[in-house]
Structures are given as structure tokens and as C-alpha cells.
């Protein structure tokens, strides 16, 4: 027994000595510091040319003190000096989840990336980029790690560029975008799962040792079950207005994988990138694989500040025309489905005008002749007007819209093909499917092979034709309803490249479209919210959160989307889905970009009048919602109501939305709801808009200071008889 103990002690000492020696030997040679207004990322180049992430946290006043950081941590031993690697390579010393793993031409699986150089570029007064050049010690394999800091928005974008000079193709078996490492007492992850009409369902958990993975293997419509966007609180559980929280996701519309690994030192490693599932990517010599960006903010004041950071960044850097205007609209999907003709559409154009919105959007069902699109079983791919429904073509609607004084937009789903279509008959090789297996459908359709440049040309052609043949067309809704089953390309030699090349192909088409049509507003839809990520969003002006348009459910979906995506991008339509009165439905739609999708003839005169007046008010105040700062004041998952406010950047005005979310007969708002983001010293008049049937409980001459509104708050007095209230605050001088 004694002997066994002695052996253990000797083994322990041997290990300790080795580890201590390793640690003692490795001194930091230099630090690379990248800062935003509030946080910093510090990389350390070690004596042996490893590059580690020394720090990711609140910015220090004195940059010289970053180098003293390491000494304050007396953690368990890192046997490898790699637990905090900036890009963990596998096959050599690594013991944890790698960021990259490869198979070289000779079959060897090892990689050890060493510092070669780095470059710091000031791209503008607000953007600084650090590029770190790494190289394997043995093989001609190179990695460039990029960190782009958006200073005032406090957002860092990270991505890698991989290349090699081996004789033949190297197989990348993993190729993440970013590899972070965080220190903290505890880590709390809020992630999102979902399904059709149940998007963005949050779950929060305290992370334990081991790996928690957020991933998608769906190929297209990749957020159907899961978003890659998350919030991670450090030390304490997630809170809206306090605490350190990292928020972000992978800006990629294909398969993704984000691993959270609590390591042997109790630190949290995050490895985020394209999912390597069925995607061991074959990279030719001297070609580059540029990974998508992993973008994140580190808020020092909870998720509220984190969201505002991401919204500011998205409006100035990601969305098309992020600080611009948007069309309010009438859509026909939920009122007609596939059953319409030219007369009905002309009537809908009149309705658009009567309602007072800007644009009419014609949805699915306008195309296909050999196989008319009268149901979701045919015609995707045959993008020619159906002669029975539209005998005079789209152009006649565009012209009629102009006469009526409204804009006109149209729905397309260019990535897809129906087995019952002329395209499928003519181009079976363009279809993603296993040639020797039975087809399997998602919504009766299949996906086109976007890894094939011919298919990319065809897809660009669909869009370009619509605009060249119909000058004046003002808007596109781009849908994507199917996931990829039986992933197989007839074009690619290496099937392992399919999922990645599909998404890159999609971006090539969107890139080309935007080069010719930079400003056309376009909605990103994927059978609801199946594709909401900044990889795609950079080509769009707005997104469709869900086919669930029940206003009560929408409050929850919109609330969670607001964590990452700004209100200007959220297309919120008023429909007849759900039992709420017209006021509640419009009030909910107003916390975003308003649209309608209902039959005006089914509204009573009172309802129609209310809707028309509400649109007029919305036109007055929409800039607050679209361009202002969001403050989430009450979370419907924590209380019986939801409350959100948008405050103008100069703090001179705000709009506050309040919704009673509990359907209990006795439920009401019993306490004031505290504001955020106002100027304590300013005085604000408070008025209620969108009054319907019940009057307002807000006295007509109410003026309160920002101080009162933020310390005490305001009760919108919601109850069974009045389930929502929209209040406008204006500075009184
Ligand atoms: C799914 C979308 O989410 C709906 O809004 C509608 O456009 C249908 N597709 C049309 O097929």
C-alpha cells in the first residue's frame, strides 16, 4: 500500500515538475492589445512562439498593466501551454477541443502553429484590425487570424484565413473562426432552440465541466432548430442591466458549431465556426479558405447594453441601409394564400393605399404554367408568371401600383425546386439529391446545388430578370423553406466540400445581386425565422421572425430576437392569427417594421379606422424604433407583462411599448415600470397613442423628469380591459 502511495507521489511530482518547468520556461515575449471603448482582447506571444489569449475582459486604464495579469492567476497546471491558445491546433500537444485539425498530403495529422508576425491596421477612426500570422513548424501550412475591433460599438469580429503550399490538397477536418478563452467564477449560457412557428425559445444553464455544443446540420434553413447566437454571463446569472456578458454568434447561414468547454483549469473555452460535420474540407495548394466571422460584444452592464452594442454595430456595418428608411406594407399571404388573380391584386393595391402603408407585397403562387403554383406541391424553379392568374404579367401590376400611388414587391424562393416543375425535368443534375436513393422532401421540395457556378448564374438570372423586365419593382421577399436532405452535389468532386460551398455559392449570388442593386429592400425569410444570421443579413434590409403571427407569441419571439438584431430589421405583420383585438396586434407589430397581412374587407369600420390612424402615428414615431436605443424594461418570462422602450440617441424622445401577457382575468400591472436610457435632468411630457375603445389612464398634462422615470417609473395601467399601451415621451424645455 505504502509503495503504491509512493509511486503516486513520485508520479505527481514528476508531472508537477514538468508542468512547472514548462510554465517557468515560457515567458511572454510580447503582448498584442486590441481595445474597444469598454473591453479589450490581449494576445501574448510566448517565448516558444505559441500565441495565447492572455485576456478578454473589461478594458484597463493603464495598458502597461496587461502584462502583469498572468501573474495574478495561480491556476492548475496547463501541461501543454495551450489551454488558452488563440487557435488550438490538434495532433501535437493539444489535449482539449481544437480550433483546427488537418490531414496533410502525406497522411500526417499533426499541426503546431507558431507565431510568425502580426500587423495592426487602423482601417478608419472607428475600426482597427489585428492580423496574426501563424505557421506550422514542419509543414507549409499557414493561418492568418483576424480580429476587427469596432471601437464605439464594442463589437469584435474574428475570422481565420487558411492556406498551404503542399503538393496536393490538404484536408481540413476542423476550421473554426474563433477560439476564445474566458476566466470567471462561473459561466451561464443563454441559448436558443426552436422549430417552425416556435422560433427563439431561450434556455439558460450554468455550464459545468465538459463541452456544451450549439450546432446545426440542416445545410439550409439552418436556424430551424437552433440559433448560433447566444449570451454568456461571466460570474453571475444573466441579467438585463448588470454583469459581464458576452453576446454574439457565427455570421454564417450554413451548418455551424459553437463549443463551450469548461477546461481543467475551470476557464471557459469557446470554439466557434463552420460545423465540420460531413465537411472535411479539401483545400487546394495556394487557395484560401476564409472562415465566416464570429462577432461578439462584451457588455459590462448586462444583456441590455450588449444588445445596444450589437444593434449599433449591425445598423452601421451589417444591414443594408441600417440607418435608412423602410417600406410599411400589405402582404397577401395569410389573406389569399395561392388563390388570387390580377383583379384581386389590383384590389389589394387599392387596399394598400386605403390603409396608408407604402407597398403591396405579392407572396407565393404567382408563377408556373405547365405545373401552376396553386399549392405548395409544384412549380418552384419555373419563375414565369402564371398566365391564368397574371395574364398581363408582373409588369401590369407594377404599372397599376404606380397609378394607385403605392410601391410593389414580390416573393421568390430561388434556391428551391419542386419535383413537379419544368426546371426539375430539364436540369435534374442541378438538384441536391442522392442519385441512387429515394428522394425525401421538406415541404414537397428539393434544394438546388448552389456549389455549382451554373446554378449560381441561373439564380442570379432569376432576380436580375425580375428587375430588368419589370422596372419599378421595389421590393423582394426571399424565402427558403427547405432543409437539405440527401446532401450530394453532382458538380463537386469532393462531397465533403458540399455544405460549405453551398453557403459560399449563396453568398456569391447575393454579392452579385447587391453589386447591381445595392439599395433594393429585401426581406430574409426562411419559412419563418429559419435563417437569421449576420452572414445573410448583410445582404438584406429586414428579416421575417416567424410564421407565428399570433401577437401574443410574437411578443416573446420579438423580445428574444431583440437580444441580437435591431428593431428596424424585424418585419412584424398584423394578421388575424390569434384572438387579440386590432389594437393589441398593431401595438405588437409596431416594435419593429410594420406590415399587414389580412383582408381589409374583414375589418369593421372601427378597426379599419384605428389601423389607418395607427399607421399615421407610426409614421411619426417609427424613427425612434428604427434608429433609437432599445431598453428592455420588463421581461414577459419573468412577470405578467412585457415592456420595451426605444430612446432617441440625443435622449430627447422615446416610445414605450407595454403588453399584458398573462390572460388571467385578474392580471394587471400593479407597479410602475422603470425606464432606462433617459436623461435624468430632462423633463418629458408623456402621452398615449393608439387609443382604441378604452381611453388613457395617463393624465393629459403629465410631465415627469428623467430622474423620476428611471428611479420610480410609470404604470401604463394594463388590465383585462386594456392589454396594451404605447406611450410617447418628449422632452419639454
Ligand atoms: C413561408 C413564409 O414564411 C411565409 O411567410 C410565406 O411566404 C410562405 N412561405 C409562402 O410559401
Assess whether the C-beta atom of 564 lies below 6 angstroms from ligand 1. no
What whole-number distance in Å separates Cα of residue 244 and Cα of residue 306?
A: 9
The domain at 630-732 falls in which architecture?
Sandwich (2.60)
Residue 319 and residue 541 in contact, taking contact as beta carbons nearer than 8 Å = yes
Q: What HEC string does 510-530 produce? A: HHHHHHHCCCCCEEECECCEC
Q: What is the pLDDT of residues 310-361, one digit of tens each?
A: 999 999 999 999 999 999 999 999 999 999 999 999 999 999 999 999 999 9
R_g of the chain, CA atoms, integer Å: 28
Nearest in space to 327 (alpha carbons), one of 410, 414, 412? 410
527 C-alpha to ligand 1 centroid (Å):
5
Determine what percent of the chain falls in helix, strand and coil, rounding each to the nearest 5: 25, 30, 45
3-state secondary structure of 585: helix
Minimum CA distance residue for ligand 1 atom 1? 527
Cell numbers describing residue 344? 384581386
pLDDT tens-digit map of 88-99: 999 999 999 999
CATH fold of the domain at 329-627:
TIM Barrel (3.20.20)
Atom number in ligand 1 closest to CA 546 = 3
pTM assigned to the model: 0.96
Strand partners, 295: 157, 249
Say if CB 546 and CB 199 are below 8 A apart: yes
CA atoms within 13 A on the CB side of 83: 18
Residues contacting 208, CB < 8 A, separation 6+: 262
What are the residue ranges spanned by the domains of the chain? Answer: 2-317, 329-627, 630-732
Smallest Cα–Cα separation from 323: which of 728, 649, 679, 652? 649
pLDDT digits (tens, 9 = 90+) for 397-410: 999 999 999 999 99
Q: Report the share of the chain in percent with pLDDT over 70.
A: 96
Q: Is 67 annotated as a binding residue?
A: no
> What's the rounded mean pLDDT across residues 267-285?
98
Half-sphere exposure of 462 (CA within 13 A, CB side): 25
Q: Is the CB of 333 under 6 A from ligand 1?
A: yes
Ligand 1 in reach of 362 Cβ (< 6 A): no
Question: Which pLDDT value is given to residue 44?
Answer: 95
How far apart CA 562 and CA 593 sit, in angstroms, is 13
106 annotated as ligand-binding: no
Asked if residue 547 has its Cβ within 6 Å of ligand 1, the reply is yes
> In this predicted model, what pLDDT tens digit does every residue of 79-130 receive, in sequence order?
999 999 999 999 999 999 999 999 999 999 999 999 999 999 999 999 999 9
Of the listed ranges 19-23, 302-306, 654-658, 706-710, the least confidently predicted one is 19-23
Name which CATH class applies to 2-317.
Answer: mainly beta
Nearest to 578 by CA among 595, 559, 555, 562: 555
For residue 363, give the ligand 1 atom closest to its CA: 7
Alpha helices in 362-452 (DSSP H): 393-404, 422-426
Of 709, 642, 721, the closest CA to residue 672 belongs to 709
Q: Using a 6 Å cutoff on CB, does residue 479 contact ligand 1?
A: yes
Tell me if 480 is assigned to a ligand binding site.
yes
For the CA atoms of 429, 435, 437, 438, what is the dihedral angle to 10 degrees?
30
- HSE on the CB side for 252, CA within 13 Å? 34
- Flag whether 477 is marked binding: yes
Mutation pick for ligand 1 pocket among 221, 527, 528, 574 (CB with most ligand atoms within 8 Å): 527
Helix (H, G, I), strand (E, B) or coil at 687: strand
Amino acid at each position: 500500500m505504502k509503495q503504491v502511495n509512493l509511486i503516486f507521489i513520485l508520479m505527481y511530482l514528476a508531472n508537477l515538475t514538468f508542468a512547472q518547468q514548462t510554465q517557468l520556461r515560457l515567458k511572454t515575449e510580447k503582448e498584442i492589445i486590441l481595445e474597444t471603448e469598454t473591453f479589450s482582447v490581449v494576445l501574448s506571444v510566448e517565448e516558444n512562439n505559441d500565441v495565447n489569449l492572455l485576456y478578454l475582459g473589461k478594458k484597463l486604464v493603464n495598458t502597461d498593466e496587461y502584462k502583469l495579469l498572468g501573474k495574478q492567476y495561480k491556476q492548475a497546471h496547463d501541461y501543454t501551454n495551450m489551454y488558452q491558445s488563440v487557435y488550438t491546433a490538434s495532433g501535437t500537444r493539444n489535449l482539449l477541443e481544437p480550433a483546427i485539425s488537418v490531414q496533410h498530403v502525406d497522411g500526417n495529422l499533426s499541426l503546431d502553429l507558431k507565431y510568425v508576425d502580426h500587423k495592426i491596421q487602423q482601417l478608419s477612426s472607428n475600426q482597427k484590425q489585428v492580423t496574426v500570422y501563424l505557421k506550422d513548424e514542419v509543414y507549409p501550412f499557414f493561418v492568418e487570424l483576424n480580429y476587427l475591433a469596432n471601437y464605439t460599438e464594442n463589437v469584435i469580429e474574428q475570422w481565420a484565413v487558411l492556406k498551404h503550399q503542399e503538393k496536393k490538397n490538404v484536408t481540413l477536418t476542423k476550421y473554426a473562426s474563433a477560439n476564445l478563452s474566458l476566466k470567471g467564477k462561473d459561466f451561464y449560457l443563454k441559448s436558443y432552440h426552436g422549430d417552425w412557428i416556435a422560433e427563439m425559445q431561450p434556455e439558460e444553464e450554468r455550464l459545468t465541466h465538459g463541452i456544451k455544443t450549439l450546432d446545426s446540420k440542416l445545410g439550409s434553413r439552418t436556424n430551424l432548430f437552433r440559433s448560433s447566437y447566444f449570451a454568456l454571463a461571466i460570474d453571475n446569472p444573466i441579467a438585463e442591466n448588470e454583469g459581464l456578458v458576452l453576446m454574439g454568434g457565427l455570421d454564417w447561414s450554413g451548418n455551424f458549431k459553437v463549443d463551450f468547454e469548461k477546461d481543467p483549469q475551470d476557464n471557459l473555452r469557446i470554439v466557434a465556426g463552420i460545423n465540420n460535420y460531413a465537411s472535411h474540407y479539401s483545400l487546394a495548394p495556394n487557395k484560401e479558405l476564409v472562415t465566416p466571422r464570429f462577432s461578439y460584444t462584451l457588455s459590462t452592464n448586462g444583456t441590455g447594453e450588449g444588445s445596444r452594442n450589437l444593434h449599433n454595430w449591425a445598423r452601421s456595418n451589417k444591414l443594408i441601409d441600417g440607418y435608412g428608411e423602410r417600406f410599411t406594407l400589405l402582404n397577401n399571404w395569410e389573406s389569399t394564400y395561392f388563390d388570387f388573380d390580377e383583379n384581386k391584386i389590383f384590389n389589394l393595391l387599392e387596399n394598400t393605399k386605403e390603409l396608408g402603408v407604402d407597398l403591396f407585397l405579392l407572396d407565393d403562387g404567382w408563377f408556373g404554367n405547365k405545373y401552376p403554383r396553386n399549392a405548395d406541391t409544384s412549380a418552384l424553379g419555373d419563375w414565369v408568371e402564371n398566365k391564368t392568374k397574371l395574364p398581363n404579367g408582373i409588369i401590369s401590376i407594377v404599372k397599376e401600383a404606380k397609378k394607385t400611388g403605392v410601391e410593389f414587391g414580390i416573393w421568390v424562393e430561388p434556391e428551391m425546386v419542386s419535383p413537379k416543375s419544368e426546371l426539375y425535368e430539364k436540369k435534374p443534375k442541378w438538384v441536391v439529391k442522392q442519385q441512387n436513393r429515394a428522394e425525401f422532401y421538406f415541404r414537397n421540395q428539393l434544394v438546388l446545388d448552389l456549389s455549382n457556378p451554373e446554378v449560381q448564374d441561373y439564380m442570379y438570372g432569376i432576380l436580375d430578370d425580375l428587375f430588368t423586365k419589370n422596372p419599378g419593382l421595389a421590393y423582394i421577399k426571399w424565402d427558403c423553406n427547405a432543409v437539405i436532405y440527401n446532401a450530394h452535389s453532382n458538380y463537386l468532386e469532393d462531397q465533403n466540400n458540399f455544405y460549405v460551398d453551398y453557403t459560399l455559392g449563396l453568398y456569391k449570388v447575393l454579392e452579385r445581386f447587391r453589386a447591381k442593386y445595392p439599395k433594393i429592400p429585401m426581406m430574409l425569410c426562411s419559412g419563418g425565422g429559419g435563417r437569421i444570421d449576420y452572414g445573410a443579413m448583410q445582404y438584406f434590409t429586414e428579416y421575417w421572425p416567424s410564421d407565428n403571427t399570433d401577437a401574443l407569441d410574437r411578443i416573446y419571439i420579438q423580445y428574444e430576437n431583440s437580444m441580437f438584431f435591431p428593431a428596424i430589421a424585424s418585419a412584424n405583420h398584423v394578421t388575424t392569427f390569434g384572438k387579440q383585438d386590432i389594437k393589441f396586434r398593431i401595438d405588437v407589430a409596431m416594435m419593429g417594421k410594420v406590415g399587414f397581412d389580412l383582408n381589409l374587407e374583414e375589418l369593421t369600420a372601427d378597426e379599419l379606422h384605428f389601423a389607418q390612424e395607427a399607421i399615421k402615428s407610426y409614421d411619426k414615431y417609427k424613427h425612434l424604433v428604427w434608429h433609437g436605443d432599445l431598453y428592455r424594461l420588463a421581461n414577459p418570462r419573468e412577470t405578467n407583462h412585457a415592456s420595451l422602450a426605444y430612446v432617441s440617441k440625443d435622449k430627447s424622445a422615446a416610445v414605450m411599448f407595454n403588453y399584458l401577457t398573462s390572460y388571467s382575468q385578474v392580471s394587471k400591472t400593479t407597479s410602475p415600470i422603470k425606464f432606462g436610457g433617459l436623461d435624468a435632468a430632462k423633463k418629458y411630457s408623456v402621452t398615449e397613442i393608439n387609443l382604441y375603445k378604452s381611453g388613457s389612464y395617463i393624465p393629459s398634462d403629465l410631465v415627469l423628469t428623467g430622474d423620476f422615470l428611471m428611479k420610480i417609473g410609470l404604470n401604463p395601467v394594463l388590465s383585462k380591459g386594456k392589454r396594451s399601451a404605447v406611450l410617447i415621451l418628449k422632452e419639454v424645455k
